[in-house]
Amino acid sequence: MTLTPVLTAHWDEADSYTIGGYMRHGGYTAFKKAFSQGADETITLVKDSGLRGRGGAGFPTGMKWSFVPQNDGKPHYLVINADESEPGACKDIPLMLANPHALIEGIIIAAFAMRANHAFIYVRGEVPHVFRRVNAAIREAYTAGYLGKNIMGSGFNLDVVLHAGAGAYICGEETALLDSLEGRRGQPRLKPPFPAVAGLYASPSCVNNVETIANIPHIVNNGVEWFRSFGTEKSPGFKLFAVSGHVNRPGIYEAPLGITMRELLEHAGGVRNGHTVKFWLPGGSSVPMLTPDLLDTPLTYEDIAAAGSMLGTGTPMIFDETTSVVRAVAGWLAFYKHESCGKCTPCREGTYWISDLLHRLEEGHGTESDLDKIVELCGQIAGRSFCALGDAAATPFPAALKHFRDEFVQATTTPANDSFNPIAATVFAGATR
Amino acid sequence: MAFTQTTQERAQEIISRYPHSRSALLPLLHLVQSEEGFVSADGIAFCADVLALTTADVAAVATFYTMYHRKPVGEYHIGVCINPGCGILGGDAIWSTLCERFGIGNDEVTEDGKISFERIECQAACTHAPVMTANWEFLDNMTPQSAVTVVEALQRGEEVHSSRGPRIPTFKDNELTLAGFDDGLVEFGGQADDIMLAGLRRAQELGQKAPEAKK
C-alpha cells in the first residue's frame, strides 16, 4: 500500500507552521464552505465520512458531535485533547509543531457545527515549543478575522483559549481533562452523564483529539467519497503512523488505514540491521503486544482487534530480540503506577502491587506463583475502575505472559539485565544508525 | 514572598481568559513558578487569594501535578525519559551516566543550583528516542556522551539549543511561557526535522501521493 501524505503534505516547507504557509495550500477555505452549507449539514458530512477518533478509542467523530444537544439554550464547549502522553504515541505533538493551523481551522468548523462559541486546547505542559506554535497560530487566526466575533460576517462567534497542563498522563482521559481544565485535580468522572450532556462547567461539551480535528478541513473540502477512498469500510481515511523502536528510520509515515505493519516497517527501513522483530505494539503501551507472525495484519480498528490487540493511537513500537520483555513490561507498569490518579482503589493499589512484583522479577527474584498472582491482580483492576487507565494497566502483562512465559519463569532466578545485555538494545550499541 | 505588581497584573490577565475563574488555577501555578522557581506556601496563598479559593483547595491541585515543584529546581531542569520506548533504547544508560557524572539523583539539585534531574515518562517523542528535556525543550536522539556534554554546557551557562526548539530558556522563563505569555521564540527550531519528515520524503522518493479529490 502506498504512502499518502495529506496532513503531512507540506511539512517540508520552512513556513508550514505559519498562516501564510497554511493558506498557500488551500488553508482556511474549508471553514467558509462549512459556514455556507450549515451546521447540521456539516455534522452529517462528518458522520457520513466515517471518521473515527484518532486519540485511541476510535469512536465515530460525527456521532460524538451529534450527541451535543442543540437549541438547549446552554453554552456549548469544544475541548481539544492535545495531552498526547500515551507511551509510544508521538503524532499530535509533531502535527502541532509543523502545522497548528490545520488544528485551528478544524476547531472553527467543529465549533460551528456543534454551536460552540468557546473552544479550549488542552496541551500537555511539557512541550513549551508546541505551546508557542499553537499560541502563535491562534493569534494569527484572530488577526485574520477567522476567530473572534462575527467571523467573516457569518454571525458566528468563536474564542479559542490555549491551556497548558502540568504533568499528568491521566488528563488525556476526557473527563479527567475536563476536571483539570476546571482547575481541579485531574481525576476521571463517573459516566454517565457523558460530556455531551454535562461536560465542561456541567454544560454540553465535546472532547476531540488533535489529529481527528485536523482531518476535518480535508473532509469538508474534498468530500465523503474522497475520504472513503482511503482505508476500509469500518476504518476510513488516512492516519499518522508514528513508527518507533528498533527500526532503521523511525518517523511519521502517513498512509491509509489498512496498510500492514510489514509494509510500514519496510517504509521505515526495516528492523535494525542484523536483528529480528521480537514483539510490537500497534498503538501505545495500553494495547496488547503482538508477535512477528502478525506483521501482515492490516492496521485497521477491526483487523487489529481480531488479531487480539487494539489500534489505539496507531503509533507502532517495534522491539527486536535484544529486548527483555520482562524489563519492558516492568517499565510500563511502573508508569501506570506513577500515573494512576488514585481515585479508584483497584487501580491505585493494583498498579502498586503489580509494579512491585514485576520489579522484583526484573531483578531476578520471585516465584512462578507470582506470575499467577499478577494475572489475578490484573483481573481485579480491569473493568473495576472509572476510566481506561486501570484497564490499560491490566493489559501489558497478560499479553506478554502469553507469548513469553519462559522468559518470565527465567526472571524468577535471573535478572533481566543478565539475560539480555541492556547495552545491546540501545541505539548507540554500535548499530547502524 | 510578596509577588510583584507585574505578576499580579498577569494573574488578572490569566483569569480574564476563562468563563469561570477557577479554570485559571493551572496557569496561575505556572505563573507562580515563573517568579519563585517552585510553588511555595506563599505561592499557594497567592493563587487562593486571587481566585477566592481556600489554600487547601489550591494545595490539593498543586500537589497532584508533577510539573509543580515544592522546592526549588535547578535553573536548568533536566528530564531523562525512562519509559521503555526511550529507556530500553538508551534512556536508562543515559540516566545512570548523568547521575554518576553530576552526583545527583531524581528530584535533586546540584550545589550551585544550576542543574536538577528528573526521571520523566513519555514525552510524545518516541520516534526521537532516547529523548531528554531541558526545561521541557526537546533534546532528541541522545547518547550518554551527548547528554553529559549538553548538561555540562548548561551548567557553565553556555548557549544550548533544543533539537526542535529555541535556545534553552531558564526554568522560570519557560514557566511564564506555559502561563500563556509570549516570549517571541516561536520561529526557532525549524518547522519539522528529518524524523518528522521521514514518511513525506519516502513518499516523494517513491513518487507516492494521496489521490486528488474529483472536482
Asked if residue A271 is part of any domain, the answer here is yes
- Which residues of chain B are within 8 Å of residue A225 when distances are taken between CB atoms? 214
Classify residue B160: in a domain, yes or no. Answer: yes
| CB-nearest partner of A89 from B19, B124, B128 | B124
Length of chain B: 215
Are both A84 and A224 inside the same structural domain? yes
Q: Which residues share a beta bridge with B167?
A: B161
- In a domain, residue B125? The reply is yes
**A425 and B88: CB-CB below 8 Å?**
yes
Is A12 inside a domain boundary?
no
Residue of B nearest to A202 (CA): B20
Is A219 a member of any domain? yes
Residue type, A322: T
Considering the domain architecture, whether residues A52 and A175 belong to the same structural domain is answered as yes
Asked if residue B152 and residue B104 are part of one domain, the reply reads yes
Same domain, yes or no, for A146 and A31? yes
**b/e code A274-296 from CB counts within 10 Å (16+ = b):** ebebbbbbbbbbbbbbbbbebbe
The whole domain housing B153 covers 76-171
> Quick one: A368 and A402 in the same domain?
yes
**CATH number for position A252:** 3.10.20.600
Chosen for mutation from B53, B82, B200 (greatest number of chain A CBs closer than 10 Å) is B200
Which of A174, A196, A228 is the last residue before a domain boundary? A228
A373-422: per-residue pLDDT in tens? 999 999 999 999 999 999 999 999 999 999 999 999 999 999 999 999 99
Q: CB distance from A165 to chain B under 8 Å?
A: yes
Q: A286 and A201: one domain?
A: no
Say if residue A305 is in the same domain as residue A391: no
A320 Cβ under 8 Å from any chain B Cβ: no
- Residue A312 sits in the same domain as residue A331: no
Number of domains in chain B: 2
Instruction: Show residues of chain A in contact with B162, CB under 8 Å.
Output: 129
Assess contact for A242 and A90: CB atoms under 8 A: yes
Q: A408: which 3 cell numbers?
A: 518470565
Residue B202 is assigned to a structural domain of this protein: no
Look at B30 and A166 and tell me if their CB atoms are within 8 Å: yes
Co-location of B102 and B15 in the same domain: no
In a domain, B207, yes or no: no
Assigned C-alpha cell, A303: 483487523
Of B25, B90, B185, the CB nearest to A183: B25
Alpha carbon distance A225, A50 (integer Å): 11
B97/B123 same-domain check: yes
Which tens digit of pLDDT belongs to each residue from A320-341? 999 999 999 999 999 999 999 9
Backbone angles phi, psi at A236, to 5 degrees: -75, 155
Please name the helix (run of DSSP H) or strand (run of DSSP E) that holds residue A21, with its range, or none: helix A19-23
* Residues A181 and A47 occupy one common structural domain: yes
Alpha-carbon distance of A310 to A230, in angstroms, equals 20
DSSP classification of residue B23: G
Residue A89, domain member (yes or no): yes
- Nearest CA among A308, A244, A320, A195 for reference residue A87: A244
Same domain, B43 and B89: no
Domain assignment present for B195:
no
Q: Taking residues A32-59, report their average pLDDT.
A: 97
Q: Are B128 and A252 in contact (CB under 8 A)?
A: no
Nearest to B209 among A5, A75, A136 (CB): A5
Same domain, B24 and B82: no
* Domain that residue A370 falls in: 325-425
Check B122 against A89: CB less than 8 A apart. Answer: yes
**Residue A261 C-alpha, separation from nearest chain B C-alpha, in angstroms:** 14
* CATH code: domain of residue A186: 3.40.50.11540
State residue B2's pLDDT score: 84
R_g over Cα of chain B: 20
Residue A84 contacts B, CB cutoff 8 Å: yes
pLDDT of A267 strictly over 80: yes
Global ipTM: 0.98
Flag whether A433 is in a domain.
no
Query: Residues in chain B with pLDDT < 70?
Result: 1, 215
Local structure of A67: helix, strand or coil: coil
Note whether A125 and A167 are within 8 A (CB).
yes
- pLDDT for the residue A433: 40
Residue A184 has pLDDT above 60, yes or no: yes
Q: Are A165 and A123 in contact (CB under 8 A)?
A: yes
d(CA A235, CA A233): 6
Inter-chain residue contact A428 with B90, CB threshold 8 Å: yes
Residue A312 three-state SS: coil
What's the pLDDT at B1?
A: 66
For residues B82 and B158, membership in a common domain is answered with: yes
| A26 and A146 together in one domain | yes
Which of A317, A320, A316 minimizes the C-alpha distance to A272?
A320
Do B58 and B117 lie in a common domain? no
The answer to whether position A107 is within a domain reads yes
Q: How far is CA A53 from CA A33, A311, B37, B72, in A?
A: 23, 11, 38, 40
A146, A152 contact by CB (below 8 A): yes
Q: Choose the final residue of a domain: A269, A286, A320.
A: A320
Question: Chain B neighbours among A 267-296 (CB < 8 Å)?
Answer: 267-268, 285
Rounded to 10 degrees, what is the CA torsion of B60, B123, B199, A6?
Answer: 10
Does the global pTM surpass 0.90? yes
Q: How far is CA A162 from CA A80, A134, A250, B133, in A?
A: 9, 8, 30, 22
Residues A188 and A262 in one domain: no
Looking at the structure, tell me whether residues B14 and B58 fall in a common domain.
yes
End-to-end, the C-alpha distance of chain B in Å comes to: 65
B96 and B140 inside one domain = yes
Shortest CA gap B192–chain A (Å)? 6
Is A90 near chain B, with CB under 8 Å? yes
User: What's the whole-number mean pLDDT along residues A418-429?
Assistant: 96
A100 and A165 housed in the same domain:
yes
Among B19, B68, B143, beta carbon nearest to A428: B143
* CA triple A329-A332-A334, angle to 5 deg: 110
Chain B positions in Cβ-Cβ contact with residue A280 (cut-off 8 Å): none
Interchain contact, A166 vs B29, CB within 8 Å: yes
CATH number where A408 lies: 1.20.1440.230
> Which among B124, B133, B194 has CB closest to A85?
B124
pLDDT in tens, A108-156: 999 999 999 999 999 999 999 999 999 999 999 999 999 999 999 999 9
Using CB atoms, which residue from A90, A165, A226 is nearest to B125?
A: A90
If asked whether residues B13 and B51 sit together in one domain, one would say yes
Number of Cβ within a 10 Å radius of residue B33: 27
* Same domain membership, residue B156 and residue B108: yes
Chain A residue numbers with beta carbons less than 8 Å from the beta carbon of B23 are: 163, 181-183
Tell me the per-residue pLDDT of A48-97, one tens digit each, with 9 for 90 and over: 999 999 999 999 999 999 999 998 999 999 999 999 999 999 999 999 99
For B102-140, what is each residue's pLDDT tens digit?
A: 999 999 999 999 999 999 999 999 999 999 999 999 999
Q: Which stretches within A340-386 are classed as H helix?
A: 345-362, 368-381
Question: What is the least distance, in Å, from the CA of B157 to any CA of chain A?
Answer: 21
How many distinct structural domains can be found in chain A? Answer: 3
Cell triple for A233: 469500510
Dist CA A60 CA A83 (whole Å): 20
With CB atoms and an 8 Å threshold, state whether B23 touches A98.
Answer: no
Q: Is residue A243 domain-shared with residue A376, that is, in the same domain?
A: no
Q: Is residue B210 part of a domain?
A: no
Instruction: Categorize the per-residue pLDDT at A347 as very low, low, confident or very high, splitting at 50, 70 and 90.
Output: very high
pLDDT for residue B214 = 80
* Residue B194: inside a domain: no
Among the three residues B134, B154, B171, which one is the final residue of a domain in this structure?
B171
Q: In B, which residues are within 8 Å of A267 by CB distance?
A: 199, 202
How much is the pLDDT for A348? Answer: 97
A residues 380..419 contacting B (CB < 8 A): none
For residue A327, list chain B residues with Cβ-Cβ distance below 8 A: 84, 88
Domain endpoint, select from A305, A320, A335: A320
The mean pLDDT value of chain A amounts to 97
A-B Cβ pairs (cutoff 8 Å, strict) = 282
Reply yes or no on whether the pLDDT at A208 is more than 90: yes
**Per-residue model confidence (pLDDT) at position A432:** 40
Three cell numbers written together for B65: 501535578
Q: DSSP 3-state assignment of A48?
A: helix
CB contact set of A71 (below 8 Å; sequence gap of 6+): none
Alpha-helix runs per DSSP H in chain B: 5-16, 25-36, 41-51, 55-62, 84-86, 92-102, 144-155, 171-178, 198-206
Query: Whose CA is closest to B122, among A334, A335, A407?
Result: A335
Could you tell me which residues are beta bridge partners of residue A241?
A253
Q: What is the CATH number of the domain that holds B87?
A: 3.40.30.10
> Read out DSSP for A127-195?
-HHHHHHHHHHHHHHHHTTSSBSSGGGSS--BEEEEEE--S-GGGGSHHHHHHHHTTS---PPPSSSPH
Is A2 within a domain? no
A8, part of any domain: no
- Domain assignment of residue B96, yes or no: yes
Per-residue pLDDT band at A431 (split at 50, 70, 90): very low
Cα distances from A340 to residues A337, A345, A373, B189, in angstroms, run 5, 10, 20, 34
Which residue from A minimizes the CA distance to B77? A126
Asked if A6 is an interface residue toward chain B (Cβ–Cβ < 8 A), one would say yes
